[in-house]
Structure 1
Amino acid sequence: MKIQILFLALLILSGFRVKAQTLNPEQLQADFVRFQTALNEVHPEPYRYTPKPVFDSLFAATQAQLDRPMTQQEFYVTMVPLLVALKDGHIKWIPAGQDEHYPFSTSKLFPLNLYWVENRAWVVGSYGSESIPNGAEVLQINGKPVRDVIQDLLPKMTFADGNTVNGKYEDLNDFFSGYYATFIAAPDAHEVQYRWAKEEKTVTLPSVTLDQIRRYQEKHKSAPQKPFRLTFTEDRNAAVMTIERFWDDKKEQDYARFLRESFRELREKRVENLVLDLRNNEGGEEKYGVLLYQYLALKPFRYYDYIRVRQKKAYSFPAWSPKLYQRFKWLVVRKRGNGYVFTKQAGLKRQKSKREAFRGKLAVLVNGASFSVTTELAARVHADQRAIFIGQETGGGYGGDNSGIFAITQLPHSKIDLGIGMFGFHMANLPTTIKPGQGIIPDHIVVPTVDDMLTGNDPVLKKALQLIQPRAGAAGSSITTR
């Protein structure tokens, strides 16, 4: 499990807040040593994307900065470049008891909901009572061009594997106000220059609170839907399977049952074209990705090549990790070359397709929030040339990720929780043409516009249906629920 167990553990460790406390250099150095020790003993592959000499230089430069008193926020920000250098989107760095995305300010937050595409931003909503027209392009924030704002924030964001950036943009779409307050400023009001109807204007908007942002999000939340859905085009020639997450809540839906019944229905109805929508699916349990591919694969396959583990012995520092793993790791961790591998994972074995496996034409939709287990599945599908891909590059890495079971330690003085995925997953049988650090790049890149966001238009799905059933007319491409 890559999500629920981690956050449960962070809740257990949380509760002590030192936001206003000033830490002296000795305390900062002690926390730095704990941080470095944890990475060295837990992270399966700290040099997967950044060479060790570069990392060593960065460690030395960061440690040299800890020669003066700092607040918790100053220390947090100072350490972030080390986390970014890991290029590991699963890494967690959260002050105890705080919201992950609003760790230091729950007031004085930027008041607009923005939609980001590359170096531009548009208004798609307002958290406060004073606003700017939806669809207006934001040109400057507090006197700083939007291009400079984004170039300031991207190097401080960790939600990306390897060299991917789309996950960071998706994070900004959801949490820009938190990132701005953490890394740039949290003023009482924000000056915004924008362009609307070919005119440029400047307004000053009062800041908002996190409660206001959450009320806005609750008000504008989409109508509740099941996390796993199967829908059909009107002509019944194509179906769309949406998987919002790779874990289930038995009170809502049973994932295995959904797959079993859905693929049986596809077979009974002789559906020839399937769109698999994995957008905004940040992952879950590895076995769920393997199970879904058993219903899509045309031949036997290997899912993972190997799963790296840093060490087998106990850690030299206080850390939380699942007791079951601690008890049985001597059985499931084996020596391999100069390191260790985890062996108890069904995806390491040769897998067979299900009898009800879909054998028609397949299209897969992905974006920057397609991450973790989702990217692993997408990598397997893409590497086996099983589908065409539409959308935007995934936030997860093509070659694998560092996740699985987490070890969590709380730095003793700053009280910041550091969560590290203990397993380095490597996908099997990958193309030799992929570049180090890339995600899954779609065959057809489609980026929604601000108008699409405001009107609910879905150009990615429309493009997929056009590609997968080119002979169908516009009416045949309409989606109806089962």
Structure 2
Amino acid sequence: MLKKIFFLSIITFCFACKSVDKISKYNASITTDKHAVADLKKDVDFTHTLLKDGHPGLYWYISKQKLDYKFDSLKNSIVEPLTSAEFYKKLTPVVAAIKCGHTSVKFPAIQYKKEELKDLSKKTFPINQFTYSINNDKLYVLESKSENKSIRPGTEIVAIEGINTQSILNDFYKLISSDGYNTTHNSRSLERNFAQYFKIYYQIKDSVNFQFRTVKDSIGETYITTLKKSKADTSKNQIKSKQARYPKYVGQYKDGKAQMDFRFLDEKRNYGYLKIQSFSIVGADYSRFYKQVFDSIAKVGTDHLVIDLRGNGGGSLEHSRNLFSYLTDKDFVYLQKSLTNGQYDYRKYGNKWQRFMYFINGHDDRDYVRQDKNGNLYSFMKGIYPLSANPKNFKGKLYVLIDGYTFSAASLLSANLKGINRATFIGEETGGGFNQCVAGNLPVVKLKNSKLAIRFGLYKMSPNAKSDVVGRGIFPDVEITSSLNDKITGCDREIDWILNNGNG
């Protein structure tokens, strides 16, 4: 323990002493500096070797021959020095070709001094003043914080900085990793992350030129400038005080919305509605929330329960698994064995901090790997052996709402429910695969020269259920896709279908 405290104190001191010059030098290295051809090719080789060593599903959806060819072609295409952003545009599509939604290239964040961060917190840059919707391969404004009141929800964005949005969307789609041959995840992911991709491609600007299609079908052009946030913003408190929910605990609020929500959809309280935005809400007490939810359901005798997993990108296996225990009345196995290559070694691939923590703790991920009688390497995770159903499990009619952003642990929950024919699924195909994904432990490994980073999973995560359709997600029993007008007006056609067809 003394050794840990001593070294942690040294690390803290070193970070505190980081000079302004080093910050400026680092920022230049990821924005304006061009990296030598030989250095970039080393990063390509390192990425390829890293994935071959650590990724247990590298060739599920692409052959070794084709992937090797893509990496070789990438190296041959680098004939002049490139910035980190230029290299990102070349490397990311190759990594995305693996078709693993948990495997991606991360762009490094610019570092700021304390005063700069304080100033940035008061600004909303132009590209962040809108939330976006993609419908029929066109880009629309879904919500606007802009001071330009003529830009209303539903306005089509035709071009940004003189580049037509079709071209922008096509470029950005190449950057997105999806599970297998899924058809819904890319657009949902791009809607959420459009601003982030735009910043990588075009960097942050205080003024951005937008072209919009007006209601009269003509093209309007305007500059959106950086917006200064008002000092007084009590919207969260106002929304919080107006909402009366069962149970009282809702985890936390984001943008005025409860991230864990339970309420009744009808006056008779015959339809319960459970919304979980994520299984990885920091600091949230999921066990407490689940207990209050199912205590409320039992108390009033609710017959129908809607679980809304739309937009749930996953998170903790534990929180997903524990929710499942409330939805079955039998002992259950949640996972097949989490197979792994067993080759990932922090001493070889980890950054300085990870190698330091290996020195402190004396182990890395390989130390948890076991071998079964058939020679397969796997890591023990709770759920690969039978678990008991929660005594307060719900026995009524169950509906699950899914969409293209239902991913990872949320897809795992959906697949297990589908496997026991427990629920009626409504919406669109999940973004996460039915049969498997690569997750569990997700190291992020920095590339030495370009400063980009590779994120990927170390374990094959498979539900205790299987689909005969390879490389796809969980399909809905009732397919409903919200229109742009539905999103703008708040019309929830999935909920409407349940209330009209639930026989409650």
Which band: TM-score by shorter chain?
A: 0.7 to 0.9
In the alignment, the residues of structure 1 paired with residue 144 and residue 297 of structure 2 have an alpha-carbon distance, to the nearest angstrom, of: 42
1:218 and 1:438 map into 2 onto residues whose CA distance is 43
> Is contact 2:425–2:477 with CA below 8 Å preserved after alignment?
yes
| In structure 2, C-alpha distance between the alignment counterparts of 1:242 and 1:109, rounded to whole Å | 29
Give yes or no for the alignment of 1:333 onto 2:366: no
Partner of 2:153: 134
Show the counterpart of 1:452. 486
Q: Helix, strand or coil: the match of 2:74?
A: helix
Give the Å deviation of 1:285.
1.0
Cα separation, partners in 2 of 1:149 and 1:213, compared to 1, 3 Å: farther
CA distance in 1, matches of 2:128, 2:293: 44
Distance in 1, Cα, partners of 2:230 & 2:57: 36
Deviation at residue 327 of structure 1 after TM alignment: 4.6
Answering whether residue 316 of structure 2 is matched by residue 270 of structure 1, we say no
With normalisation by structure 1, the TM-score equals: 0.81
What TM-score, normalized to structure 2?
0.78
| Structure 2 residue 399 is matched with structure 1 residue 363 | yes
Report the alpha carbon displacement of residue 154 of structure 1 after superposing the two structures with TM.
Answer: 1.6
Equivalences for residues 388-427 of structure 1 within 5 A: 388-427=424-463
Counterpart contact for 1:38–1:317, Cα < 8 Å? no
Deviation at 1:329, TM superposition (A): 3.8
Q: Within 2, Cα distance between the matches of 1:328 and 1:154?
A: 33
Give the Å deviation of 1:419. 2.1
SS of 1:114's equivalent?
Answer: strand
- Are 2:222 and 1:205 equivalent residues in the alignment? yes
Of Structure 1 and Structure 2, which has the larger fraction of its residues in strand? 1
Deviation at 1:189, TM superposition (A): 4.3
CA offsets 1:62-116 (integer angstroms, 9 cap, x no match)? 11112321111111111011221122222242233349xxxxxx96748654311
Pick from 104, 121, 140 the counterpart of residue 139 of structure 2.
121
Say whether 1:164 aligns with 2:182: yes
Aligned CA distance change for structure 1 residues 194 and 248 (closer, same or farther; 3 Å): closer
Please report how far the alpha carbon of residue 338 of structure 1 lies from its aligned counterpart in structure 2 after TM superposition.
6.6
| Cross-structure match for 1:244 | 277
User: AA paired with 1:275?
Assistant: V
SS at match of 1:447: coil
142-151 or 438-447: bigger deviation: 142-151
1:37 to 44, 49, 60: 49
Question: 1:327/1:417 Cα in 2 relative to 1: closer, same or farther (>3 Å)?
Answer: closer
In structure 1, C-alpha distance between the alignment counterparts of 2:362 and 2:404, rounded to whole Å: 31
The CA deviation string for residues 36-66 of structure 1, in whole angstroms up to 9 with x for no partner, is: 2211122221112222111111111111112
Matched, 1:190 2:209: yes
Distance in 1, Cα, partners of 2:136 & 2:201: 19
Secondary structure at 2:220's aligned position in 1?
strand
Q: What is the number of residues matched between the two proteins?
A: 442
Do structure 1's residue 259 and structure 2's residue 307 form an aligned pair?
Answer: no
2: CA distance, partners of 1:364 / 1:205: 42
Change (3 A) 1:392 1:371: same
Amino acid at match of 1:334: Q
The answer to whether the 8 A contact 2:144-2:152 is kept is no
What 5-or-longer segments of structure 1 have no aligned partner?
A: 1-11, 100-105, 473-482
The code of the aligned residue for 1:304 comes to L
* Unaligned runs of at least 5 residues, structure 2: 1-14, 16-21, 112-123, 237-253
SS in structure 2 of the partner of residue 350 of structure 1? coil
> RMSD across aligned C-alpha pairs, in angstroms?
3.2
Q: 1:292 aligns with which of 317, 323, 328?
A: 323
Matches of 1:349 and 1:79, distance apart in 2: 40
Structure 2 distance, partners of 1:133, 1:244, is 26
Code of the aligned partner of 2:308: D
Q: Deviations over 1:432-467 (max 9, x none)?
A: 3xx222111211122222222222222222223323
**Preserved contact between residue 139 and residue 146 of structure 1 (Cα < 8 Å):** yes
Q: 1:462 to 1:178 in 2, by over 3 A?
A: same
Higher relative contact order (CA 8 A, sep 6+): 1
